[in-house]
Amino acid sequence: MEYPRIVVKPPGPKAKELVERERKVLSTGIGVKLFPLVPKRGFGPLIEDVDGNIFIDFLAGAAAASTGYAHPKLVKAVQEQVELIQHSMIGYTHNERAIRVAEKLAKISIIKNPKIIFGLSGSDAVDMAIKVSKFSTRRPWILAFIGAYHGQTFGATSIASFQVSQKRGYSPLMPQVFWLPYPNPYRNVWGINGYEEPDELINRFLDYLENYVFAHVVPPDEVAALFAEPIQGDAGIVVPPENFFKELKPILEEHGILLVMDEVQTGIGRTGKWWGSEWFDVEPDLMIFGKGVASGMGLSGVIGKEEPMEVTSGSALLTPAANPVISAAAEATLEIIEEEKLLENALRVGEFIRKRLREMQERYEIIGDVRGKGLMIGVEIVKEGDKPDPEMTGKICWRAFELGLILPSYGMFGNVIRITPPLVLTQEVAEKALEIIEQAIKDAMAGKVERKVTTWH
């Protein structure tokens, strides 16, 4: 198959018509429309839109389409299950497929002898983790990180701090949440180069936590949990120093505070390991999963140590959670990742992409930082003085879209190119995508791009 293939300059006439129809009937609250893209079908890491254009997909539906599109094994599993029975509520009855998925997740978990709660999306799984944390500790406070995107339900919004637009007009939100600066090696509040001095960055954070926050702001014996992304996603693929969580965990344990890792974006192979936490040699008390576990088809949950997970019967009940069809998709997804060695593929192709991007960094001064693990990669675009350049970022991504690559821009300052393709991405397809990225950079720098993509604001 020819890829990318642009038969009509995007957005084409059919896409424009559907975008206008959607505008008339759907609330703006449903999302941030990054591109005027209307997919019709997909195959592997490629998407065909309603006008017949074929794009390489570096978004994967917000890092959720882990096995790509129309994978034969996934399609077969879902079709066979829906012919048998499409709904069986695990809240009131039992579901063999959901049991098998739970057993598999327990097996690959880095938490010993865990229990599992199923949900529908990362957002409601975050809410469940908040409930588990508060119920098991009987404590009111939650700590979280600035830049964290934890979701859109009331509880998830309450602990997130990605963009103020998420919260404007919805107060009062859940009280007794306090946010900490994330130890971003490239751009942090202390002005430390965390790549050259990772220990100094870690120590500065721990000093702030113990001698300022715990001493003057929040009583540590009243904190239920600290919520963290092992690698911050929407903040711009921010990778903390390697020993950060390893040094943080003993301090939390000293005060009886649970460590809750939000693995919605970093989990299920995205970083080249089953869980992003594995890169940092730390065992969380709870982990939240979602997105890629069923290839984007609507399964999430919490994996936790047995004791805190024993909450009140029915308090984590959601009617469609882990229904037979979604469980079939999850079971197939986990099997595909193992059978096709997609963890290894994410490591190999991800390293190839980062190597090529770092070569571009040597050639183009607007590339300030290249970072990530596996197929979770961020490219920070800057102007003079390493200041964020969201305008240039948006134009690079728009030009890439015109050339047949779905390449979103996001980050705390809107200046990070997000690369989270399906885990089935091959080096051959990645090579073509990288050629498009370089061409888009050249065109944007030369002033040839008039439009820019939409991003969070």
Residues 135 and 259 in one domain: yes
Statement to judge: residues 253 and 364 lie in one domain: no
SS3 track for the chain? CCCCECCCCCCCHHHHHHHHHHHHHCCHHHCCCCCCCCEEEEEECEEEECCCCEEEECCHHHHCCCCCECCHHHHHHHHHHHHHCCCCCCCCCCCHHHHHHHHHHHHHCCCCCCEEEEECCHHHHHHHHHHHHHHHHCCCEEEEECCCCCCCCHHHHHHCCCCHHHCCCCCCCCCCEEEECCCCCCCCCCCCCCCCCHHHHHHHHHHHHHHHHHHHHCCHHHEEEEEECCCECCCCCECCCCCHHHHHHHHHHHCCCEEEEECCCCCCCCCCCCCHHHHHCCCCCEEEECHHHHCCCCCEEEEECHHHHCCCCCCCCCCCCCCHHHHHHHHHHHHHHHHCCHHHHHHHHHHHHHHHHHHHHHHCCCEEEEEEECCEEEEEEEEHHHEECHHHHHHHHHHHHHHCEECCEECCCCCEEEECCCCCCCHHHHHHHHHHHHHHHHHHHCCCCCCCCCCCC
> Is 325 within a domain?
yes
213 and 350 in a single domain? The answer is: no
Q: Give the domain extent around 291.
A: 72-340
Q: Are 147 and 161 in contact (CB under 8 A)?
A: yes
Residue 2 lies in a domain: no
Do 345 and 295 fall within a single domain?
A: no
Q: Could you say which residues of the chain have pLDDT below 50?
A: none
Domain identity same for 311 and 352: no
How many structural domains compose the chain?
2
Query: Within a domain: residue 441?
Result: yes
CATH of the domain at 351: 3.90.1150.10
Final residue in a domain of this structure, among 306, 340, 374: 340
pLDDT digits (tens, 9 = 90+) for 256-306: 999 999 999 999 999 999 999 999 999 999 999 999 999 999 999 999 999
Domain end marker among 297, 320, 340 = 340
Considering the domain architecture, whether residues 163 and 280 belong to the same structural domain is answered as yes
Report yes or no on 7 lying in a domain.
no
- Inside any domain, residue 282: yes
Q: What is the 3-state secondary structure (H, E, C) of 133-190?
A: HHHHHCCCEEEEECCCCCCCCHHHHHHCCCCHHHCCCCCCCCCCEEEECCCCCCCCCC
Say which CATH number the domain at 178 has: 3.40.640.10
pTM for the whole structure: 0.97
Whether 176 and 286 map to the same domain: the answer is: yes
Residues 322 and 404 in one domain: no
**What is the predicted pLDDT for the residue at 179?**
98
299, 355: one domain: no
The answer as to whether 455 is a domain residue is no
pLDDT at 456: 84
Please tell me the predicted confidence (pLDDT) of residue 242.
Answer: 98
Q: Please tell me whether residues 137 and 86 are part of one structural domain.
A: yes
Which pLDDT tens digit goes with each residue over 162-206? 999 889 999 999 999 999 999 999 999 999 999 999 999 999 999
pLDDT at residue 449 in the model: 97
Assess if residue 427 is contained within a domain. Answer: yes
Q: What is the structure's pLDDT at 457? A: 73
Q: Is residue 4 part of a domain?
A: no
Amino acid at 118: F
Listed residue (231, 164, 192, 161) closest to 378, CA to CA: 231
54 lies in the same domain as 100: no
Instruction: Clarify whether residues 123 and 233 are in a common domain.
Output: yes
Final residue in a domain of this structure, among 340, 358, 381: 340
